[in-house]
Amino acid sequence: MSAPLLELENLRVSFPTAHGRVEVVKGISFTLGRERLGIVGESGSGKSMTGRSILKLIRSPGKVTADRMTFDGVDLLGQSERQMRAIRGARISMVMQDPKFSLNPVMTVGDQIAEALRFHARLSKGERKARVLSMLEAVRIDDPERVSRLYPHEVSGGMGQRIMIAMMLIPEPDLLIADEPTSALDVSVQSQVLDIIDDLIRTKGMGLIFISHDLNLVSRYCDRILVMNSGRVVEECAASELADASHPYTRGLLAAMPRLDETREELPVLDRASWGGT
């Protein structure tokens, strides 16, 4: 593998509460090359906070500290807010859960995607339009001309999410952070959207951080998996070896999921005391 794209060492995120500062991410470290990394965990595990802190999207009074947080040789911690804006979108993009809240309701889809391009590249109007249309085609939208003139409320959830992906990928970033990109979508659309992401990541040689609560989904679309629980990484393994996971939490999660060919009378419940989790 070439030099790592992203290096995190001892990342901590904390928020003040009535009972003092509480850490939601408690010192996690990992390096990422141009590969697909999955971060799995339940709600409150700190997985989303990890993703957001890479882009420095944690708002005050939340606090991010790390011994080291570099992206392609750039120290992210030392970047000013203005420098970060140049990195966000252009070099690191983020796709979030619900397209409804991420798209501007009073701007056409085409204009919004073009907007993402405007900040990061100098192109003529015609070139921009061509790029937008080819990007929409890349996310498998059949009639890009027509769709680019639609407003967000006129498109379905699955299409909205594909438009979001188009918007995030058009500046050709080096790293895509996808935070539960498909949990608002139907299962059949889910795999379509993930296939598209997967395809684009592979052909463009980008890095991917796929954050999700769904172990199966992550193991299908990633090379490597981090399992998080209450702010810590409890297990790190290759996606193909998930079934042989050793940590009781991971094993518990795997067992708690009902299967399509379910024969168990009762689902095993996590014994949270067994590894000192919450």
Give the whole-angstrom CA distance, residue 20 versus residue 159. Answer: 43
What residues from 87 to 116 belong to the interface with other proteins (CB under 8 A)?
none
Single residue of 29, 83, 134, 216 touching other proteins by CB under 8 A: 216
CA distances from 137 to 58, 89, 133, 269 (A): 33, 20, 6, 45
Q: Which residues make beta-bridge pairs with 94?
A: 177
Q: How far is the CB of 7 from other proteins (least distance, A)?
A: 30
- Concatenating the DSSP letter of every residue in 62-96 gives -EEE-SEEEETTEEGGG--HHHHHHHBTTTEEEE-
Q: Rounded to the nearest whole angstrom, what is the least distance from the CB of residue 193 to other proteins in the complex?
A: 12
Tell me whether the omega of the peptide bond preceding residue 171 falls within 30 degrees of 0, making it cis: no
Which region, judged by CB under 8 A, interacts with other proteins, from 4-12, 106-114, 183-191, 230-238?
183-191
Give how many residues touch other proteins by CB under 8 A. Answer: 29
Between 131 and 272, whose beta carbon lies closer to other proteins? 272
Number of H helices, E strands in the chain: 10, 11
Q: Which one of the spans 77-85, 108-116, 138-146, 186-194 is the region binding other proteins (CB under 8 A)?
A: 186-194
Nearest distance, CB of residue 161 and other proteins, angstroms: 13
Name the residue among 254, 249, 225 with its Cα closest to residue 38.
Answer: 225
Cβ(200)–Cβ(36) below 8 Å: no
3-state secondary structure of 115: helix
d(CA 159, CA 173): 21
* Choices 48-56, 117-125, 209-217, 231-239; region in contact with other proteins by CB under 8 A: 209-217
String of contacts with other proteins for each residue 229-258, x by CB under 8 A: -----------------------xx--xxx
Contact string 21-60 vs other proteins (x = CB under 8 A): ---------------------xx-----------------
Residues that bind other proteins (CB under 8 A): 42-43, 157, 186-191, 213, 215-216, 220, 252-253, 256-262, 264-270
